Amino acid sequence: MKIEVNHLTKTFGKETALKQLSLELSNQKIIGLLGQNGAGKTTLLRLLAGHFLPSSGEIKISDQPVFDNYTITKDICLIQESNNFYQKFKVGEILKLSAIFYPNWNADEANQLLEVFKLKKKQKVHALSKGMLSALGIIVGIASHAPLTIFDEPYIGLDASARSTFYDLLLASYQEDPRMIILSTHLIDEVSKLFEEVVILHKGELLLQEQADELAAKHQLVSGSKQAVDQAIAGKNVIYQSELLGKKSAIIFDDQVEVTPELTVSRASLQELFVYLTKEEATQIGYSN
Amino acid sequence: MTERLKEDQPIFIQIAELIETSIVEETYLAHDQVPSTNEFAKHYQINPATAAKGTNLLVDQGILYKKRGVGMFVTDQAKTIIMKKRQERFYDYFVLPLVEEARMIQLPKEQLFKWIEEELNDED
């Protein structure tokens, strides 16, 4: 599976959702797509799935355009946060339709997943709770075995234990049949360990694309006495700093400090990196402290 | 190997160290099969590629060997290699922080030595 996105722009009226975005994703791996609300994640994922045309630029999947092209869209399964299924269908009918649409559909797996999530084939979509609808989305996404499977915030209404079950199932199914899985989520702490590659969008542009391991190697969380830390980080690319009780911590990104015995160097979590790379400072809007 | 993974250290290094510790503790002996990357992935809910990076690190260091299509096994010299490696870093990891804390709270030298001696004798 190979995705090539070149100078992709998508506008909705006066709003620009994606600005000249270029990105390449390849091979079978689990990719985390992160970004604030409004960063353009859902727009990108829907363009990848061929839901609509870009305003300019191009998308190619396996060297082919994706819009209105069943030879490619049959290999793509996008599960969105909501409105994945027609209200009037029954769960069993959704599964039958999916089996027709997706060539790699695994009916046995789908039936097992129904049991895991305690869904019945005769239940109607419009009668399902939010959590059950999410579960149905997850079942279709996993059982589709689509070479490109995309989950865009798939678990609205799912409790923590059902989400953990989803991660287990996703990993198990991925290990049996490695495929490209893109997972877009705000619950970064929960899923960061699942990612092999991380893509961060910010204001419609690509902020970062990195192997998860390399992202860990690309930053340092430096702590120690205020003086030692200040000396070490002077002139470095500091994305976060905070001090208390004469001690200071700072995160250096895309840069290295000289490690001295007075300093402790460790790693920040993906969630912390994401927050510090993208957030607006409260002080910028006029709060003094 | 049910320790929790920490946030502030790369996961593949933690996987490698968990395996090392279980070899030093003799949970795994020479030519025993260690858990597969899939088992690590499942247990810790991590990407299998990350787990593979951890075991490959140990293959590079001569601690594990691969049998194609079967899995990963502990080498003959694994325990020796790990103990040597851990002895080399013992000073930095354990002695320095111990002395630093002792100095900060002005713990008498004699007390420190006495405790260490007591603990060491206890082991016998």
Q: How does pLDDT run across A189-242, given as a tens digit for each residue?
A: 889 999 999 999 999 999 999 998 888 889 999 999 999 999 999 999 999 998
Distances (CA, A) of A190 to A161, A164, A275, B10: 11, 8, 15, 16
**Which value, to the nearest 10 degrees, does the dihedral of the CA atoms of residues A167, A170, A173, A179 take?**
-140
Residues of chain B neighbouring A217 (CB-CB closer than 8 A): 10
3-state DSSP call for residue A53? coil
Flag whether pLDDT at B2 surpasses 70: no
Q: From chain A, which residues contact B within 8 Å (Cβ)?
A: 29-30, 164, 167-168, 171-172, 174-175, 193-196, 212-213, 216-217, 221, 266-269
From chain A, the residues in CB contact with B49 under 8 A are: 29, 196
CB contact (8 A) between residue B46 and residue A194: yes
| CA atoms of A230 and A250, how far apart (whole Å) | 9
- The total of other beta-carbon atoms located within 10 Å of residue B112's CB is 15
Nearest CA in chain B to A268: B8
> Using 50, 70 and 90 to split pLDDT, how confident is the model at B24?
very high
- Asked if B45 reaches chain A (Cβ–Cβ under 8 Å), the answer is yes
Binding-face residues of B in 24-43 toward A, CB within 8 A: 38, 41-42
Band (pLDDT 50/70/90 cuts) for residue A286 is low
pLDDT at A285: 56
**pLDDT, position A213:** 85
Instruction: Kindly list the distances between the CA atom of residue B12 and the CA atoms of A194, A266, B19, B28, B59, in Å, as whole numbers in the listed order.
Output: 12, 15, 11, 19, 13
User: Does B44 lie at the interface with A, CB-CB under 8 angstroms?
Assistant: yes
Write down the pLDDT at residue B98: 94
| CB within 8 Å: B8 and A195 | no
Q: What pLDDT, on the 0 to 100 scale, is given for residue A189?
A: 87
Say yes or no to pLDDT of A260 above 90: no
Tens of pLDDT, residues B89-123: 999 899 999 999 999 999 999 999 999 999 998 76
Q: Which amino acid is at B16?
A: A
**Closest-CA residue to A104 (of A67, A147, A48):** A147
Tokens of A188: 């970064």
- Check B9 against A267: CB less than 8 A apart: yes
- Model confidence, pTM: 0.85
Is the Cβ of B86 closer than 8 Å to some Cβ of chain A?
Answer: no
- The helix (H) or strand (E) run that includes residue B72 is strand B71-74
Of B9, B45, B53, the CB nearest to A171: B45
Among residues A75, A81, A80, the alpha carbon closest in space to that of A63 is found at A75
At residue A106, the pLDDT reads 97
- What SS3 state is found at A202? strand
Q: How many cross-chain Cβ pairs, A to B, lie less than 8 Å apart?
A: 49
Query: CB–CB of A175 and B41 under 8 A?
Result: yes
CB nearest to A221's CB, from B8, B11, B46: B8
Paired tokens of A124: 């109607």
A175–B7 CB contact, under 8 Å:
no
Mean pLDDT of chain B: 91
| pLDDT score of A148 more than 70 | yes
> Does the distance separating the beta carbons of A167 and B38 come in below 8 Å?
no
Q: Per residue in A86-110, pLDDT tens?
A: 889 999 999 999 999 999 999 999 9
Q: Which of A210-224, A254-268, B49-63 has the highest mean pLDDT?
A: B49-63
Q: Does B46 touch chain A (CB under 8 A)?
A: yes
Nearest CA in chain A to B42: A168
At residue A281, the pLDDT reads 63
Residue ranges with strand state E in chain A: 2-12, 15-26, 30-35, 56-61, 64-65, 76-79, 148-152, 180-184, 197-202, 205-211, 219-225, 238-244, 247-253, 264-266
C-alpha to C-alpha distance for B27 and B63, rounded to whole angstroms: 14
Q: What is the mean pLDDT of residues A52-65?
A: 94
Q: Are strands A30-35 and A180-184 parallel, antiparallel or unpaired?
A: parallel
